[in-house]
Amino acid sequence: MPQSRKAIIIGAGPAGLAAALRLHQQTNIQVTIYELRAEPTTLGGAVGIQPNGLRLLDRLGVYEKAAARGFISSNLTLHSMQGHIVAQQDFVGWAREQTGFGYMRIKRTDLVDVLLGAVQKAKIPIHFNMRLTTIKESDESVHVTFGDGSTDTADMLFGCDGIHSFVRRAYVDSKKTLEYSGMSGLGSIIPTSILSSSTTTQITGLDATLTEDGMLAVNPCSAGKDELFCFFSKEVGLPNSGDSRDGWAVHRKEEVDGFKSAMLETLESAKGEWGIAMKEVVDSISVVNFYPVYRLRPGGVWSRGRCILLGDAAHAMSPHAGQGVSMALEDVFLLSRLLEDPERPLKKAFEIYDRIRRPRINEIFKLAAQNAQVRKKTGPWGLWLKEVQFSLAMTLSWVFGADKRGLRQGHLVYDVDEVDLV
């Protein structure tokens, strides 16, 4: 019987918690998680998870618990500012038939809480309030030190510490820099109890409205439909002070303060029942979170020695493909499969991982960047053109049965557990 191996996981977001669970399920590796924050973060509003990711949550044994909290519907309705419906479709219908999973919108806190519950049930050690300060390697092990002076040693380390990853910056790839995508997201979670019933009954799933300034979308994010995630994706330039923390702090405050009046101004010409509903939703917002969307361009180094980056730490992308969580889950599942065989050297496992993951990540990065285009600022004619294009695309897709054949849904049925490892 080979000796059990030990892994350190840095970060208790979706990637870190899922990695701990999968390694615990599938390998003889003993994991310990270290998280910077004193408790799970509230950042992220509500995330949409697609069939390829939901299937993996199911294999982790947490899908039912997540489904009991999130809102499941893949009904996409695109509304116009004139008050009519431009297009309507079940946007993952074919993928659901293939995989058995649809689309879930769930508060990030609920997702993390469900994963954390499973981690605790499995008795996997997790330490909060731990700031990683150094990573060192010898031939036999990786050694870490934290801000409080405590240390740990293991056979391998997973950097699951998100887009600003310390593991990436300090150890794996110090050359890689973040890039501002030019887009920002403004989001708010609203209790539906404060909205009129004529507004809530109009919201059936993911309801989006194209405006000249960007895209405004609403989507219930809790199982009882008692909370609604409202988010606006728009182009926002870098502040004059550049990409500095101070510049963003001022900019952020201005964005938040001005959000409601700017949105109501954007929606001023919105007509019909839907226009009234959107104005009511925006007017009821009391807290706005502002997320400038940064990303890591494809390429760069994902592993060094005994350390590897997973999730956003390796490949943060713009959220417009709705695949960030699913990409983190796919990373975790592939790596866990590769580490299942204790005889496979770590270096070999990381090499195979890199070869299999690169094309998939590049494909989704490209898709996310393409999807961002429709959210860019435009004039009245540009908006009209976008609506016509959407309407035509959906009508043609329906007429020729492309939606039934899974056009543009191929990436949603990708099963990382079926990928050939050789």
Ligand X SMILES: Cc1cc2nc3c(=O)[nH]c(=O)nc-3n(C[C@H](O)[C@H](O)[C@H](O)COP(=O)(O)OP(=O)(O)OC[C@H]3O[C@@H](n4cnc5c(N)ncnc54)[C@H](O)[C@@H]3O)c2cc1C
Which positions lie near ligand X, rule CB under 6 A? 10-16, 34-37, 41, 44, 47-49, 132, 160-163, 166, 185, 291, 293, 311-313, 319, 322-326, 328
Closest CB 310 distance from ligand X, rounded Å: 7
Q: Are 53 and 323 in contact (CB under 8 A)?
A: yes
Phi-psi region of 362 (alpha: psi -120 to 50; beta: other; left: phi over 0): alpha
Closest CB 109 distance from ligand X, rounded Å: 11
Closest CB 185 distance from ligand X, rounded Å: 4
Q: Are 180 and 44 in contact (CB under 8 A)?
A: no
Name which of 243 and 280 has its Cβ closer to ligand X: 243
Mutual angle of helices 324-340 and 14-26, in 10-degree steps:
30
d(CA 61, CA 25) in angstroms, rounded, equals 10
Name which of 57 and 81 has its Cβ closer to ligand X: 57
Name which of 37 and 225 has its Cβ closer to ligand X: 37
Closest CB 263 distance from ligand X, rounded Å: 16
Name which of 35 and 173 has its Cβ closer to ligand X: 35
Name which of 47 and 278 has its Cβ closer to ligand X: 47
Name which of 48 and 70 has its Cβ closer to ligand X: 48
Structure tokens at 215: 């895209």
Closest CB 113 distance from ligand X, rounded Å: 12
Name which of 57 and 293 has its Cβ closer to ligand X: 293
Q: Are 124 and 109 in contact (CB under 8 A)?
A: no
CB atoms within 10 A of CB 121: 11
Closest CB 322 distance from ligand X, rounded Å: 4
Q: Give which of 415, 413, 419 is closest to 102, Cα–Cα.
A: 413
Name which of 102 and 311 has its Cβ closer to ligand X: 311
Closest CB 163 distance from ligand X, rounded Å: 6
Name which of 133 and 389 has its Cβ closer to ligand X: 133
Closest CB 318 distance from ligand X, rounded Å: 8
Closest CB 24 distance from ligand X, rounded Å: 17
Q: Are 64 and 156 in contact (CB under 8 A)?
A: no
Structure tokens at 219: 């989507």
Between the alpha carbon of residue 305 and those of residues 10, 142, 347, the distances in Å are: 16, 9, 7
Q: Give which of 178, 169, 164, 155 is closest to 307, Cα–Cα.
A: 155
d(CA 330, CA 50) in angstroms, rounded, equals 12
Name which of 54 and 81 has its Cβ closer to ligand X: 54
Closest CB 291 distance from ligand X, rounded Å: 4
Name which of 231 and 274 has its Cβ closer to ligand X: 231
Q: Give the pairing type, strands 206-210 and 227-235.
A: unpaired
Phi/psi at 178 (5° precision):
-80, 150
**Residue linked to tokens 């999807």:** 371
Closest CB 52 distance from ligand X, rounded Å: 10
45 contact partners, CB below 8 Å, separation of at least 6:
107, 108, 187, 188, 189, 221, 229, 231, 289
